[in-house]
Amino acid sequence: QVKLVESGGGVVQPGKSLRLSCAASGFTFTTYGMHWVRQPPGKGLEWVAVISDDASQKYFTDSVKGRFTISRDDSKSTVYLQMHSLRAEDTAVYYCAKDSVAGIDSWGPGTLVIVSS
Amino acid sequence: VVMTQTPLSLSVTPGQPASLSCKSSQNLLHSDGKTYLDWYLQKPGQSPQLLIYEASNRFSGVPDRFRGSGSGTDFTLKISRVEAEDVGVYYCMQRIQLPWTFGQGTRVDFK
C-alpha cells in the first residue's frame, strides 16, 4: 500500500532555511506528481506546492514563491521541499501527498515546522 | 478561487443525517466535462483522507453513506447516517485552477 513518510521538521529561527523530505513507497513513484500541503496549528489546510511526475512542472502558492523550491529524486523515491527565508507564518505541519486522477489520494503523517526565535 | 464552507461547526445525533455545503467563487466545471471539487475528512489527530472526488465520485473504500453532489459553484456532501468514525473536520478543495484551495472546514461532532 502507499506509504509516505515526511522528515526534516523542527524548530528554526526566522530567516533561516530548512529542507523537508518525503520518502515514498508502495507505488510507482515516477508516474505520479507529488504535493506539499501545510496546516498551521489549530487551523485549516493550505496547498503549498506540486511537482509533476517528470519534474518538468513546479507550482507554488503565492506566499512561498521565491522562498520555497520543490524537487524529487526518483532513484530514492523521495520528494523534497527546500524552504528559505522562513517566517513565523510558515509554522505548520507539512504534509507530503500523492497526486492522482482523483486528486490528492494519499497523505503522509506530516512533519511539524516551528519558526521561532 | 475562494472556497466557502457552511456551517463551520455541526453537531449531529448518531444515526441521523448530516449535510455540509461548499461554495466556490468560480465555476469548477472544466472544459473536459469534469468538475474539479473534492471532499476530504480529517479525523482527530490524523492526516486528511480523500472521500469524494470530482464532486460526486466516492473514492475507493469510502462507505456509501457519503454522497457528494452539486455543480458549477455550489456543492454538498451528505452523510445519510452519521457514525462515530465520521467525526472530524471536512474540507472541500478545488483543483481546477492553481493554486489549489481548500475551504475553511466544517467540524462535525456528536451532540
pLDDT tens across the length of chain B (111 residues):
999 999 999 999 999 999 999 999 999 999 999 999 999 999 999 999 999 999 999 999 999 999 999 999 999 999 999 999 999 999 999 999 999 999 999 999 998
CB contact under 8 A, A62 and B99: yes
Interface membership of A66 toward B (CB under 8 Å):
no
**Length of chain A, please?**
117
User: How far apart (Å, rounded) are the C-alpha atoms in residues B43 and A36?
Assistant: 19
Listed by number, the residues of chain B in 74-93 with a beta carbon closer than 8 Å to a beta carbon of chain A are 89, 91, 93
A46-51 and A34-39 as β-strands: parallel, antiparallel, unpaired?
antiparallel
Tens-place pLDDT, residues A101-110: 999 999 999 9
Q: Which amino acid is located at A112 in the chain? A: L
| Joined grid coordinates for residue A98 | 500523492
Q: How near does any CA of chain B get to the CA of A59, in Å? A: 8
Out of A60, A95, A102, the one facing B53 most closely (by C-beta) is A102
Triad A11, A35, B39: Cα angle to 5°: 110
CB contact under 8 A, A45 and B95: no
